[in-house]
């Protein structure tokens, strides 16, 4: 069985080896990685990993009409690895597939849901936990405080990435879910959430978040380390978003993800498989040197950003902002109701415009 992970990166060499070791340990057999505009040696590290047979690296230079990630996905649609994969997931460098069922591998997950053609990997948001300075330590070790396993708001807590069978039901890749459903195949598609519940037929053609207010993580979750250390968040803001060129992060992004309500160390069950792989990667002289250079680059770039008043001000706001508090069920329902009203309102306005 071939499990393909597709990744787009820019200036992520300091985190790349941990991400790769983890996902090889949980059972991904193939990696198709796109890089763009790297200053920290990420592209050189990917070239070395490709030379050693760990992954396939494709350079993705700009300019792009819709941002680097969408350009990469269009190229991935045509790549031979896309054609030969049995299962595919499009992931980001701060997302770690964390499987709870069986031995914690993708094979165990797909065996647990043998009728599934798509499995939603719902985010579990891991907060900053008060970590200020960037350190060269695994994310999985540093960040163990997360959002509650059941959250109804913010709605982004229900966002998912999709592990889907590459059986021709969808013609194109997407950031959160496959796109362009085949009318002759799509009705036979069956979607299941991360707790093993079958999802409604509407998920075959749309939807990017699982039902709010229920536990979607019993079999599998996607650990989302979106924030990291406060210093690392400055770099994230400076880089912008992969799927929207030039779109900046801000305090709103931070507040909607900085939940530290529960300790979740479940991903550490994979360490017995991850650690030997990571040691093997770091033992390669070229990879070890590139990783060390990336750490030096990252620290120097942080110091450079802190010379700017805008980034000093942002850093100060991060320092004085406490972790976000999950809403009570009553207030969460209120926000969900307001959100649904807003959606209906916008749809009504679009209908009026179309009829004008």
> What is the reported pLDDT for 192?
98
- Rounded to two decimals, what is the model's pTM? 0.94
Q: What does the alpha-carbon distance between residue 94 and residue 115 come to, in Å, rounded to a whole number?
A: 29
Largest CA distance in the chain: 66
Q: Residue for token digits 């595919």?
A: 88
> What is the reported pLDDT for 67?
87
Residue 56 forms beta bridges with which residues? 32
Q: What are the structure tokens assigned to 120, written together?
A: 């939603």
Whether the Cβ atoms of residue 159 and residue 209 lie closer than 8 Å to each other: yes
Residue 164 forms beta bridges with which residues? 88, 118
> What is the reported pLDDT for 202?
94
Q: In 182-202, which positions are buried (b, 16+ CB within 10 angstroms) versus exposed (e)?
A: eeeeeeebbbbbbbbbebeee
Domain shared by 107 and 248, yes or no: yes
Full domain range(s) for residue 334: 328-356
> What is the reported pLDDT for 297?
98
Domain shared by 319 and 339, yes or no: no
Domain shared by 338 and 205, yes or no: no
Domain shared by 333 and 320, yes or no: no
Residue 224 forms beta bridges with which residues? 95, 125
Domain shared by 268 and 354, yes or no: no
Domain count, the chain: 2
Q: Kindly give the confidence (pLDDT) of every residue in the chain, 356 residues in length, as a single tens digit, with 9 standing for 90 and above.
A: 999 999 999 999 999 999 999 999 999 999 999 999 999 999 999 999 999 999 999 999 888 888 899 999 999 999 999 999 999 999 999 999 999 999 999 999 999 999 999 999 999 999 999 999 999 999 999 999 999 999 989 988 999 999 999 999 999 999 999 999 999 999 999 999 999 999 999 999 989 989 888 999 999 999 999 999 999 999 999 886 544 443 456 799 999 999 999 999 999 999 999 999 999 999 999 999 999 999 999 999 999 999 999 999 999 999 999 999 999 999 999 998 998 898 888 877 766 565 55
Domain shared by 279 and 195, yes or no: yes
> What is the reported pLDDT for 316?
96
Domain shared by 260 and 341, yes or no: no
Q: State how beta strands 30-35 and 56-59 pair.
A: parallel
Domain shared by 299 and 347, yes or no: no
* 37: alpha, beta or left? (left if phi > 0; alpha if psi -120 to 50): left
Alpha helices in the chain (DSSP H): 13-25, 42-51, 68-77, 80-84, 106-112, 139-142, 230-239, 251-255, 271-283, 285-305, 309-320, 329-355
In this structure, is the dihedral angle defined by the CA atoms of residues 294, 295, 298 and 300, taken in order, positive or negative? negative
Rounded to a whole number of angstroms, the distance between the first and last alpha carbons of the chain is 53
Domain shared by 219 and 347, yes or no: no
Q: What does the alpha-carbon distance between residue 303 and residue 134 come to, in Å, rounded to a whole number?
A: 11
Domain shared by 355 and 248, yes or no: no
Q: What are the structure tokens assigned to 247, written together?
A: 């779109």
> What is the reported pLDDT for 189?
94
Domain shared by 319 and 332, yes or no: no
> What is the reported pLDDT for 352?
54
> What is the reported pLDDT for 249?
62
Q: What does the alpha-carbon distance between residue 157 and residue 122 come to, in Å, rounded to a whole number?
A: 8
Q: What are the structure tokens assigned to 83, written together?
A: 């054609």
Q: What are the structure tokens assigned to 123, written together?
A: 């985010």
| Neighbour tally for 103: CB within 10 Å | 13
> What is the reported pLDDT for 353?
61
Q: What does the alpha-carbon distance between residue 165 and residue 1 come to, in Å, rounded to a whole number?
A: 11
Domain shared by 294 and 335, yes or no: no
């Amino acid at each position: 069985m071939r499990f393909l992970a597709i990744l787009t990166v820019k200036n992520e060499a300091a985190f790349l080896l941990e991400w790769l070791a983890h996902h090889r340990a949980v059972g991904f057999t193939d990696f198709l990685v796109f890089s763009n505009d790297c200053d920290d040696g990420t592209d050189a590290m990917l070239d070395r990993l490709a030379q050693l047979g760990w992954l396939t690296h494709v350079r993705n230079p700009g300019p792009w009409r819709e941002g680097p990630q969408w350009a990469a996905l269009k190229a991935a649609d045509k790549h031979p690895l896309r054609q030969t994969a049995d299962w595919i997931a499009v992931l980001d460098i701060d997302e770690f597939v964390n499987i709870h069922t069986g031995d914690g591998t993708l094979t165990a997950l797909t065996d647990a849901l043998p009728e599934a053609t798509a499995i939603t990997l719902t985010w579990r948001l891991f907060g900053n936990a008060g970590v200020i300075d960037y350190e060269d330590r695994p994310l999985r070790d540093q960040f163990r405080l997360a959002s509650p396993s059941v959250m109804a708001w913010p709605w982004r807590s229900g966002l998912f990435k999709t592990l889907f069978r590459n059986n021709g039901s969808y013609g194109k890749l997407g950031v959160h879910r496959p796109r362009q459903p085949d009318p002759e195949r799509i009705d036979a598609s069956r979607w299941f959430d991360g707790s093993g519940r079958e999802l409604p037929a509407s998920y075959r053609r749309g939807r990017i978040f699982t039902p709010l207010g229920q536990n979607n993580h019993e079999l599998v979750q996607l650990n989302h380390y979106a924030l990291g250390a406060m210093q690392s968040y400055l770099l994230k803001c400076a880089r912008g978003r992969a799927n929207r060129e030039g779109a900046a992060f801000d305090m709103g992004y931070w507040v909607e993800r900085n939940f530290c309500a529960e300790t979740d160390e479940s991903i550490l069950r994979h360490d017995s498989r991850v650690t030997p792989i990571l040691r093997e990667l770091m033992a390669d002289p070229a990879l070890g040197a590139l990783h060390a250079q990336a750490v030096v680059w990252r620290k120097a770039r942080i110091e450079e950003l802190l010379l700017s008043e805008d980034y000093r001000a942002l850093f100060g706001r991060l320092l004085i902002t406490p972790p976000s508090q999950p809403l009570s069920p009553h207030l969460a329902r209120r926000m969900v109701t307001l959100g649904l009203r807003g959606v209906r309102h916008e749809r009504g306005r679009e209908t009026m415009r179309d009829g004008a």
